[in-house]
Amino acid sequence: MINAPELLCPAGDLVRLKCAVDFGADAVYLAGQEFGMRTASANFTPDELREGIEYAHAHGVKVHITCNITPHNDEIERIPTFAKMAADMGADAFIVGDLGSIEAVREAVPNAVIHASVQSGVTNYRTANILHKMGASRVVLARELSLQQIAQIRANTSPELELESFVHGAMCVSYSGRCLLSSYMTGRDANHGDCAQPCRWSYSLMEQTRPGKYYDITETDKGTYILNADDLCMAEHIKDLADAGVTSLKIEGRAKSHYYVAVTTNAYRGAIDAYAKDNNAPCPQWVVEELNKISHRTYSTGFYYGKPTDSQTYESAGYIRDYTVAAVVEGYEDGHIIASLKNKFERGVILDCLQPYCPPFEVDTTAMTDEKGEPLEVANKPTMILRIPYEREIPQGSFLRMIAD
């Protein structure tokens, strides 16, 4: 077995954390009620944080705590108390964004494991080395780096310094997410995790001497999404990332659904495991297909192979969604999958099952019944319980999917 990179997955709340753990994460990253760069996700109360850390550790998974906002004076004063609480609960590392926050965490928790956040803007080896001297054991590299530039950083830094890179999820049109556009247009501060995503909005031109007269930037009647970046997907390039020296592969998405977390975690687990068995083997085809079964924008490889020339979509900021969740497995009894309905479907539909640590497989619903064993022609009542014959047990929490209308 080859020494494979770590798989680091998002946990926007306790449900998402358990999904990431169950579907194959080596580590998860999350935030408390303050200091994290995602206010759109529920995040963790102190009680939830304790429960989440205990659940992750029981399954051999590490927990990284984000303290990576750009803090103001009142916030920097509260970081030590939060860091001490999280450390006492067993947090494995702190993802910290600015120099003052690094100092605040280290003063509160002298033996804290520090990861310098992507908000630190690490684009060269000198910055990486300075952060390492300040106590960071890992740096999260800026999204704007190529594989060649990452390899140069690896060659000029201590082998003890870990390098973490994003491999999947939304990209930001601004430099490493440090953007004032949201604050300027809506009053929502992206640097405090409250981005309104104005880069995803449609824009038109207005000529100065013709107020109120708008002109489309493109030939469509929808304006143009001139700032809209495609999503990142590097599942087929694990070997290139590892060869460049990346030691942790990070999936973006703390504000995404638990289904998104399950699919991306399981897919990248499959890609990494395939690489670990044979570093010259291609990415399994099922991994590529899985990542098209979640809501996503057009995929690209970002900056990894040089300056991107086709990593923006100008016609729309909408998502591509080929599959939807039909039901979630609640258990297995007397040769039947027990599942709770999520979306309507008719008898005879072949469902696609997502189970942890394996490629998807088909489940035939021709003989499905309701909870009382009565045959069903259509499953259409919210939260109803289904019984579907199947030859082997499928774990609780697995997803049964169908092609979206």
The whole domain housing 343 covers: 323-403
Residue 1 has pLDDT above 60, yes or no: no
Domain boundary among 265, 300, 335: 300
> pLDDT tens-digit profile of 176-222?
666 656 665 676 766 555 666 666 566 666 666 777 776 555 545 55
User: What are 141's strand-pairing partners?
Assistant: 122
189: CB partners within 8 A, 6+ apart: 182, 183
Judged by average pLDDT, the poorest of 205-219, 237-251, 364-378 is: 205-219
274: CB partners within 8 A, 6+ apart: 238, 281, 283, 284, 287
Residue 43 inside a domain? The answer is yes
* Alpha carbon distance 71, 61 (integer Å): 29
Question: For 213-241, what is the mean pLDDT?
Answer: 74
65: Cα within 13 Å, side-chain hemisphere? 33
Residue 356 has pLDDT above 80, yes or no: yes
Question: For 242-263, what is the mean pLDDT?
Answer: 95
160 alpha-carbon distance from chain centroid: 26
> Are residues 29 and 115 both part of a single domain?
yes
Residue 98 inside a domain? The answer is yes
Our CA angle for 17, 295, 118, nearest 5°, is 55
> Are residues 387 and 260 both part of a single domain?
no
Q: What percent of the chain has pLDDT over 90?
A: 68
> Are residues 137 and 243 both part of a single domain?
yes
User: What are 115's strand-pairing partners?
Assistant: 95, 138
Give yes or no for a contact between 226 and 205, defined as CB atoms under 8 angstroms apart. no
pTM of the predicted structure, to 2 decimals: 0.85
> Are residues 265 and 379 both part of a single domain?
no
CA distances from residue 276 to 165, 243, 272, 332 in whole angstroms, order as listed:
18, 13, 6, 32
CATH value at residue 56: 3.20.20.380
Q: Please report the DSSP string for 137-153 in residue order.
A: EEEEB-TT--HHHHHHH
CATH value at residue 369: 2.40.30.10
Quote the number of domains for the chain: 2
> Are residues 142 and 37 both part of a single domain?
yes
Residue 379 inside a domain? The answer is yes
Task: Name the token pair of 234.
Answer: 């590097």
With H, G, I as helix, E, B as strand and everything else as coil, classify residue 63.
Answer: strand
Give yes or no for a contact between 164 and 120, defined as CB atoms under 8 angstroms apart. no
Question: For 121-128, what is the mean pLDDT?
Answer: 95
> Are residues 79 and 130 both part of a single domain?
yes
Residue 317 inside a domain? The answer is no
Residue 146 inside a domain? The answer is yes
Angle between helices 14-22 and 46-58 (to 10 degrees): 10
Residue 344 inside a domain? The answer is yes
Residue 5: pLDDT band (50, 70, 90) is very high
